[in-house]
Amino acid sequence: MIEIYYVEDDWAIAETVKQYLEQKNIRVMRYATLAQAREALASHLPALVLLDWNMPDGHGDSLCQWIRRHWKELPIIFLTVRGDSAEIVCGFQNGADDYVVKPFTLEVLYARILALLRRTKTAAGQYLSCDGIVIDQKRCTVTYACEEIRLSAAEYHLLLYLMQNKGQTVTRERILEQLWDMNGSYVNDNTLTVTMKRLRDKLSQPACIKTVRSVGYRMEDTL
């Protein structure tokens, strides 16, 4: 299911949009302030952000700028008032991918969301996230709480494999089969243990990486 974040302080509008989009199999998480949205984004990334311009704690462009500093390809649609060209120009200057003018029909909004997701389909799978840990697969970078974490190649590939199998228990044997060094030699069991310890240390012992006793590991959202 597609998941989007909807940043809108008008409860009536937000609820109408949420109900309609969820009928279209789009999961909508609604946030009433920019601060709430920023906190949610720091923990987990959606497929798209639907962002109203006028919010109680500022203008949407400030959140857009913040998103672009951390996740350059995350799709963003601005919602703006009819006739306010300044908002539209400012939105694009600060990184928005598209805009929808209020008042809008639900059908038009849905069509624009689908169109943007089609255009940015590579971005939808570019970011993997769990409890504030984000992997940018295009750049091979890892951030935690929006701060970049330097990992070794082995640590990165271990984290990537766990993230790609989020919610599933993967055995140590399966992990060992996946983690090859540059010469094609298998990583041994002790190396896996050491690599996992170093990875956990660098990520401040995240609760989302769980040890399944005598079996392997599982990564899952806990927040």
pLDDT at site 102: 86
Task: Mark whether 114 and 139 lie in a shared domain.
Answer: no
Angstrom distance (rounded) from CA 161 to CA 217: 11
Q: How many domains, in total, are found in the chain? A: 2
Task: Mark whether 142 and 59 lie in a shared domain.
Answer: no
Within 10 A of 39 (CB to CB), how many other CB atoms are there?
13
Task: Mark whether 89 and 68 lie in a shared domain.
Answer: yes
Within 10 A of 123 (CB to CB), how many other CB atoms are there?
19
CA distances from 191 to 73, 92, 168, 199, 214 (A): 35, 48, 22, 12, 17
pLDDT at site 124: 60
Q: What's 162's domain CATH number?
A: 1.10.10.10
Task: Mark whether 98 and 136 lie in a shared domain.
Answer: no
Task: Mark whether 72 and 104 lie in a shared domain.
Answer: yes
Task: Mark whether 102 and 138 lie in a shared domain.
Answer: no
pLDDT at site 122: 63
Q: Is the peptide bond before 46 cis (omega within 30 degrees of 0)?
A: no
Task: Mark whether 116 and 136 lie in a shared domain.
Answer: no
Angstrom distance (rounded) from CA 172 to CA 23: 40
Q: Are the C-beta atoms of residues 77 and 51 closer than 8 Å to each other?
A: yes
Angstrom distance (rounded) from CA 216 to CA 223: 22
2 bridge partner residues: 26
State which residues of the chain have pLDDT below 50: 182
pLDDT at site 29: 97
Give the range of the structural domain holding residue 174, as residue numbers without chain letter: 132-219
Task: Mark whether 67 and 115 lie in a shared domain.
Answer: yes
Within 10 A of 186 (CB to CB), how many other CB atoms are there?
11
Domain boundary residue, one of 97, 124, 151? 124
Task: Mark whether 105 and 213 lie in a shared domain.
Answer: no
Q: What's 112's domain CATH number?
A: 3.40.50.2300
CB-side neighbour CA atoms (13 Å) of 214:
0
pLDDT at site 95: 78
Using alpha carbons, select from 172, 144, 139 the residue that is nearest to residue 158: 172
Q: Are strands 147-149 and 209-212 parallel, antiparallel or unpaired?
A: unpaired
- DSSP letters spanning 17-86: HHHHHHHTTEEEEEESSHHHHHHHHHH---SEEEEESEETTEEHHHHHHHHHHH-TT--EEEEEETT-HH
Domain boundary residue, one of 84, 100, 124? 124
Task: Mark whether 99 and 120 lie in a shared domain.
Answer: yes
Domain boundary residue, one of 124, 149, 180? 124
Q: Are the C-beta atoms of residues 140 and 148 closer than 8 Å to each other?
A: no
81 bridge partner residues: 102
